[in-house]
Structure 1
């Protein structure tokens, strides 16, 4: 009975990992928007946390390697000008990284942002694992992200269903820096993307 209760709690905690998977941008679209940030190879773990309870709601991972992408498993961040393929968002310029982060921060949730500079090989491995993973079922955002990180940091990161648990493990890796983003917009965060005009960036 306890196992059943835990499973139900895990599902409810991860309810925001609820977008239908299967977006498939063309090769031409991906080549057109490919972007590499001029900073160091880096992994940025995003953890969305409930402001009232502290419970985790969503996990995603930005990867800066030969290009910069966001692994957004079962995420709800969608815009017609931002190509996505199987939960991987491409062409992550500073403007897109900013709107992505603000999209998830609102009056009921804040975003923990954890950054870790890695080797070029580790960044590339993370990118390849994310691109090869395929569409992620609902409520498995942390499970999928932790499985990727566990391959890069064996013995330091374990597979988990829980966003807070993964953030705590990631935060113990040497060199991780953290910041937190609070915003107090309406829970209807769709307006963040609706009002975003990439031509004006």
Structure 2
């Protein structure tokens, strides 16, 4: 009896995870490539409910030969960040601000945890993200932790459906740098998404 009940609760806990498969054309992906000057790294983003402290969504930013966001079953998009099955290309500083601003609101804070990695690990992470395919709803935690578990140095990260549990284990990695972003935007972030398509984002507080 307990197993069906647990499975029934999973969609509620991860209700922020929603997406449909998309496939941007080659020209759009190539034009959007962004290379950041900072060292290669893996950044775990976790959206935490401010009322329950439960995790609502997981995303993984990979900074290597280019910087992308693996946003499994995510709902954020931007016309200048082409997507292929949950991998968003062209994660410039502005796009990263947009991503955080979209998720940080009165009911959710955004926790980012960054670990520097070798170029080889960053390349492998991108390969795994691109090969993963579109992630079903409510499976963002499983997809994110599944990729992390396959990377050298990240074997200790929990394989889990629950974003907060993944965040806690990621936080135990050596050298992890953590930042927390708050915003008082309304819970309905549709207006934020529309504003991002035409104007500048509000600056999230750290």
Where on the TM-score scale, by shorter chain, does this alignment land: which range? over 0.9
The offset of 1:154, in angstroms, is 5.5
The offset of 1:8, in angstroms, is 1.5
Q: Distance in 2 between matches of 1:199 and 1:4?
A: 45
The offset of 1:199, in angstroms, is 8.0
Q: Deviations over 1:37-90 (max 9, x none)?
A: 110001110000100000110000000000000000000002233210000000
Q: 1:8 to 1:106 in 2, by over 3 A?
A: same
The offset of 1:3, in angstroms, is 1.1
Q: Which residue of 2 aligns with 1:130?
A: 129
Query: 1:108 and 2:128 equivalent?
Result: no
Q: Distance in 2 between matches of 1:199 and 1:76?
A: 19
Which ranges in structure 1 are unaligned for 5 or more consecutive residues? Answer: none
Q: Distance in 1 between matches of 2:157 and 2:14?
A: 19
1:127-166 to structure 2, matched below 5 A, reads 127-152=126-151, 153=153, 155-166=155-166
Q: Which residue of 2 aligns with 1:183?
A: 183
Q: Which residue of 2 aligns with 1:6?
A: 6
Which ranges in structure 2 are unaligned for 5 or more consecutive residues? Answer: 202-206
Q: How does the TM-score come out when normalised to structure 1? A: 0.95
Q: Distance in 2 between matches of 1:35 and 1:82?
A: 10
Q: In 1, are the aligned partners of 2:80 and 2:90 still within 8 Å (CA)? A: no
Q: Which residue of 1 aligns with 2:50?
A: 51
Which ranges of 4 or more aligned residues in structure 1 deviate by more than 3 Å?
Answer: 197-201
Q: Which residue of 2 aligns with 1:170?
A: 170
Q: 1:195 to 1:133 in 2, by over 3 A?
A: same
Q: Distance in 2 between matches of 1:183 and 1:43?
A: 24
Q: How does the TM-score come out when normalised to structure 2? A: 0.93
Q: How many residues align?
A: 200
Q: Distance in 2 between matches of 1:12 and 1:170?
A: 23
* Structure 2 SS opposite 1:180: strand
- Let me know the Cα RMSD of the aligned residues: 1.5
* Structure 2 SS opposite 1:157: coil
The offset of 1:158, in angstroms, is 3.2
* Structure 1 SS opposite 2:185: coil
Q: Distance in 2 between matches of 1:158 and 1:46?
A: 15
* Structure 2 SS opposite 1:195: helix
